[in-house]
């Protein structure tokens, strides 16, 4: 629209929205950011437990594979701004970063430094930000409709995020905007979220942590290799990285079945623990591999006294206990929902979006970025990297198009 008040309106002030605004404003576009919440970047402040895991330095192919079969869609965005470019970007904003096992954090140790730097850059580029302002439609004739008026613009970037953490701004509003613009929405489900477990004995272990457990979904079509990481029992079930990274796939199955079997190996590579046991109690002999509280619970399931010496344990009972440790079967009955979900699985279907520009194939001038799209990855900086990279790519192409 010639004569528009703004070149670009960004819907959402999360990492993808702010990055898109900065990329466009650096190319001299006049940018307006609309945020429905009273404050900006609330979910960013909570990311990584407040530490803000900005990105992940895995090679591109491994990074893409972590997002599953649709991960290839991200390639243009990652090539425009990968982890190295993202770290360099924040260095220019005086936010140095440090790497910890492929995870990248601000040296400050807090997400506040990241958000403050992004907002400072927005101010210097004269990006206008309006809070308590919710978009209600994206008209084909251009601009954004709010409850008060239609704000004209030449382009719109929808970076509204997912449904997780409603108190921090998560909502389905972006899906509605995209759907009314003609885009298909894949039913959103919670991801990176704790699981609810049926078995009472597991809930009684609340607070017990297991390092390096392997979890797989006990249904056809899921990888037998599963995923490996730390696990934590809760009063409702399970959490920890290995659980969170599997939760989106589990949540999807709840659309068709009421309970999902999961199989946990609490001690991958467990060797012949009985040899060194001797007169030690079973619980003490297994302590190098799993916590005593867990051993005691597993023993009770098969009627073994965990305080009995290993030397008194029969071969049959030993096999049964080892099976319980390496192939423990539990039943997931639900998740803790969007109120605890760090990420949303599902959202705006990728088929309606051009990966090289992130522009809508259905409505010219409408672009997308971040978690609102049907792409989600595991914990560890994957989702924030996608948010920043996609925001940057969209902002760059909007600048070129205008």
pTM of the complete model: 0.91
> pLDDT digit of tens for each residue in the chain (402 aa)?
334 589 999 999 999 999 999 999 999 999 999 999 999 988 888 887 788 999 999 999 999 999 999 999 999 999 999 999 999 999 999 999 999 999 999 999 889 999 999 999 999 999 999 999 999 999 999 999 998 899 999 999 999 999 877 777 778 889 999 999 999 999 999 999 999 999 999 999 999 999 999 999 999 999 899 999 999 999 999 999 999 999 999 999 999 999 999 999 999 988 778 876 678 899 999 999 999 999 999 999 999 999 999 988 898 999 999 999 999 999 999 999 999 998 999 999 999 999 999 999 999 999 999 999 999 999 999 999 999 999 999 999 999 999
CA distances from 358 to 18, 140, 187, 229, 353 (A): 16, 17, 21, 33, 6
What is the C-alpha to C-alpha distance for residues 303 and 337, in angstroms, rounded to an integer?
Answer: 35
C-alpha 345: how far from chain center: 8
Scanning 182-291, the segments in alpha helix (DSSP H) are 200-203, 241-253, 282-285
301 near 200, Cβ under 8 Å?
no
Residues with Cβ within 8 Å of 369's Cβ and at least 6 positions away in sequence, in order, are 16, 17, 19, 20, 157, 158, 159, 358, 387, 390, 391, 393, 394
Look up residue 260 and give its DSSP letter.
Answer: E
Secondary structure of residue 286 in the 3-state scheme: coil
Map out the domains of the chain with their CATH numbers: 6-189+344-401 (3.50.50.60), 195-335 (no CATH)
* DSSP notation for 376-400: ---TTTHHHHHHHHHHHHHHHHHHH
19 near 55, Cβ under 8 Å?
no
Secondary structure of residue 9 in the 3-state scheme: strand
């Amino acid at each position: 629209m010639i004569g528009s008040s703004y070149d670009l309106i960004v819907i959402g002030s999360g990492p993808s929205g702010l990055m898109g605004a900065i990329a466009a404003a650096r190319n001299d576009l006049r940018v307006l950011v609309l945020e429905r919440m009273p404050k900006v970047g609330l979910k960013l402040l909570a990311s990584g437990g407040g530490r803000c895991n900005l990105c992940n330095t895995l090679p591109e192919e491994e990074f893409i594979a972590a997002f599953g079969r649709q991960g290839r869609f991200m390639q243009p965005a990652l090539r425009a701004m990968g982890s190295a470019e993202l770290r360099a970007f924040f260095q220019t904003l005086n936010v140095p970063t440090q790497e910890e096992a492929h995870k990248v954090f601000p040296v400050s140790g807090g997400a506040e430094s990241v958000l403050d730097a992004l907002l400072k850059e927005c101010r210097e580029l004269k990006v206008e930000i309006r809070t308590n302002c919710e978009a209600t439609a994206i008209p084909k004739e251009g601009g954004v409709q709010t409850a008060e008026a239609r704000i004209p613009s030449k382009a719109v970037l929808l970076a509204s995020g997912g449904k997780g953490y409603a108190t921090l701004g998560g909502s389905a509003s972006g899906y509605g905007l995209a759907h009314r613009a003609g885009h298909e929405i894949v039913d959103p489900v919670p991801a990176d979220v704790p699981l609810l477990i049926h078995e009472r004995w597991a809930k009684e272990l609340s607070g017990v942590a297991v390092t390096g457990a392997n979890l797989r979904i006990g249904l056809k079509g899921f990888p037998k290799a599963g995923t490996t990481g730390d696990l934590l029992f809760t009063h409702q079930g399970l959490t920890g990285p290995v659980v969170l990274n599997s939760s989106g796939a589990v949540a999807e199955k709840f659309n068709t079945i009421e309970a999902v079997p999961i199989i946990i190996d609490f001690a991958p590579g467990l060797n012949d623990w009985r040899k060194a046991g001797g007169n030690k109690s079973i619980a003490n002999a297994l302590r190098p591999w799993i916590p005593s509280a867990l051993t005691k619970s597993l023993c009770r399931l098969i009627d073994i006294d965990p305080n009995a010496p290993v030397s008194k344990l029969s071969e049959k009972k030993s096999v049964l206990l080892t099976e319980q440790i390496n192939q423990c079967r539990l039943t997931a009955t639900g998740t803790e929902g969007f109120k605890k979900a760090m990420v949303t699985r599902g959202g705006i279907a990728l088929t309606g979006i051009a990966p090289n520009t992130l522009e809508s194939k259905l409505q010219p001038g409408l672009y997308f970025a971040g978690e609102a799209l049907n792409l989600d990855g595991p914990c560890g900086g994957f989702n924030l990297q996608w948010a920043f990279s996609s925001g940057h790519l969209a902002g760059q192409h909007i600048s070129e198009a205008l």
